Amino acid sequence: MLDLAEKYLRKDALPTIFCPGCGDGQILNATIKAIDDLKIRKNIASVSGIGCSGWIPVYLDMDVLHSIHGRAVAAAEGLKLSSPDKKILVFTGDGDCVGIGGNHFIHAARRNIDLTVIMVNNFIYGMTGGQKAPTTPLKAITKTSPYGNSERAFDASRLAITAGATYVARWATIYPNKLEAAIKKGIEHEGFSFIEVLSQCPVQTGKYIMNETNPWNMMNWFKENTEIKNNIGEKNSEKIRLGEFINEEEEEFSTQLAEVRRKFNENSN
Amino acid sequence: MKIAIDERYCTGCGICIEVCPKNIFKDSYMRSQQGYLMPEIKNEKNCIECNLCEKLCPEMCINVVSEEVSQV
């Protein structure tokens, strides 16, 4: 087993529940590299939601909060405010984050609370068998859209930018070095960091939407149908934009709140 | 160069076989502990330590160990 994995993974929870070739495992791979490089093992905790992505941090040998569907960001906000000196990493899926969790997501971004949200986008509700999600493309075939999806899809990164996130990046599992660098930057960034990762789900997305179940071919599809630019560009562009879209410094929520608390204490003395 | 695939965790996804620039991994009939068909390692000495197999393995079960370079 990889040396870093020996160091960071919870051996008694292995083997993983990930299907062969699942992007979730590659994202976990990039995460342990990032945590090791930053040397913050003692100062970081993870929160996850429900779905296959919810299992990513469960294999990490550190404090992990596996919360309920859509509430990963909400639980993480609470955890951050109670432990403001810790860095909080949030693993969520496309359905978990912009579906049922949509409201928590937009307000956490608006508040610019110091979290690093990694949204694993497989364009489907994978764990439950392949139902269409808010990120499923128009006309795509899924278990609940056998004649084609009649809804347009969210661009989660664009939503994060509009809601006010101060670090937004999108990568895919075919770019492990870029992904690791983005996770490091997101963790170090003092503010709401949002990293969307296009990730292959060979069993559901592959079978139904892409008609391709080989994980390497799916990863290459992510390479061929994307372009790397440093801005998110126009809606409905031909290729999906990857890259670092926003990286700004603005007042962070938990430090603001601490300041309010300090003023209150001063006043009451 | 020592390349090892941990047979406890390999799920036979084949990504290492596709990604290696020196074609070190090959399909084989060996089975992992969970019953998946595992790759076998051929021509280990051709490895250039690009570490792509380590980075892209979804189960993190590949380890590439550098050999000490002799002074002679």
B38-68 residue pLDDT tens = 999 998 999 999 999 999 999 999 999 987 7
Give the C-alpha separation, A6 to A233, whole Å: 41
Could you tell me which chain A residue has the CA closest to the CA of B57? A26
CB contact under 8 A, A18 and B59: yes
- For residues A5 and B60, is the Cβ–Cβ distance under 8 A? yes
| Residues 6 or more apart whose Cβ sits within 8 Å of residue A225 | A239, A240
Give the C-alpha separation, A134 to A125, whole Å: 9
Banded pLDDT at A131 (limits 50, 70, 90): very high
Asked if A24 is an interface residue toward chain B (Cβ–Cβ < 8 A), one would say yes
Asked if A43 is an interface residue toward chain B (Cβ–Cβ < 8 A), one would say no
pLDDT, average across residues A121-129 = 96
Banded pLDDT at B16 (limits 50, 70, 90): very high
Residues 90-129 of A with CB under 8 A from B: none
**Token pair in block for residue A180:** 């690791």
User: Is the Cα dihedral A135, A207, A211, B61 positive or negative?
Assistant: positive
Q: What is the pLDDT of residue A69?
A: 97
Of B8, B11, B58, Cβ closest to residue A26: B58
Q: Which of A1, A8, A14, A56 to mutate to test the interface with B (most CBs of B within 10 A)?
A: A1
Q: Is the pLDDT of residue A101 over 90?
A: yes
- Spell out a b/e string for A197-228, using b for 16 or more CB atoms within 10 Å of the CB, else e: bbbbbbbbbbbbbbebbbbbebbebbeeebee
Q: Is the pLDDT of residue A139 over 80?
A: yes
Asked if B19 is an interface residue toward chain A (Cβ–Cβ < 8 A), one would say yes
Q: What is the pLDDT of residue B68?
A: 73
Contact residues, chain A, for B21 at CB < 8 Å: none
- For residues A117 and A193, is the Cβ–Cβ distance under 8 A? yes
Interface size, chain A vs chain B, as Cβ–Cβ contacts under 8 Å: 74
Contact residues, chain A, for B57 at CB < 8 Å: 2, 25-26, 29
pLDDT > 70 in chain A, percent: 100
**Token pair in block for residue B11:** 């799920």
Q: What is the pLDDT of residue A165?
A: 97
Give the C-alpha separation, A234 to A238, whole Å: 10
Q: Is the pLDDT of residue A117 over 70?
A: yes
**Token pair in block for residue A146:** 């056998």
pLDDT > 90 in chain A, percent: 96
Q: Which helix (H) or strand (E) holds A92?
A: strand A87-93
Over residues A210-251, the pLDDT tens digits come to 999 999 999 999 999 999 999 999 988 889 999 999 999 999
User: Is the Cα dihedral B48, A177, A70, A138 positive or negative?
Assistant: negative
Of B18, B34, B58, Cβ closest to residue A25: B58
Give the C-alpha separation, A35 to A55, whole Å: 17
pLDDT, average across residues A118-142 = 97
Q: Which residue reads 């969520």 in tokens?
A: A92
Give the C-alpha separation, A173 to A205, whole Å: 15
- For residues A132 and A99, is the Cβ–Cβ distance under 8 A? no
Give the C-alpha separation, A46 to A50, whole Å: 14
Q: What is the pLDDT of residue A149?
A: 97
CB contact under 8 A, A215 and B15: yes
CA proximity to B38, closest of B25, B28, B53, B24: B28
- For residues A8 and A60, is the Cβ–Cβ distance under 8 A? yes
pLDDT, average across residues A133-156 = 96
Over residues A178-220, the pLDDT tens digits come to 999 999 999 999 999 999 999 999 999 999 999 999 999 999 9
What is the average pLDDT score of chain A?
Answer: 96
CA proximity to B57, closest of B28, B24, B2, B20: B20
Of B18, B36, B63, Cβ closest to residue A2: B63
Q: Is the pLDDT of residue B71 over 70?
A: no
CB contact under 8 A, B9 and A28: no
Q: Is the pLDDT of residue B1 over 70?
A: no
Could you tell me which chain B residue has the CA closest to the CA of A176? B55
Give the β-pairing of A116-121 and A167-172: unpaired
Could you tell me which chain B residue has the CA closest to the CA of A30? B55
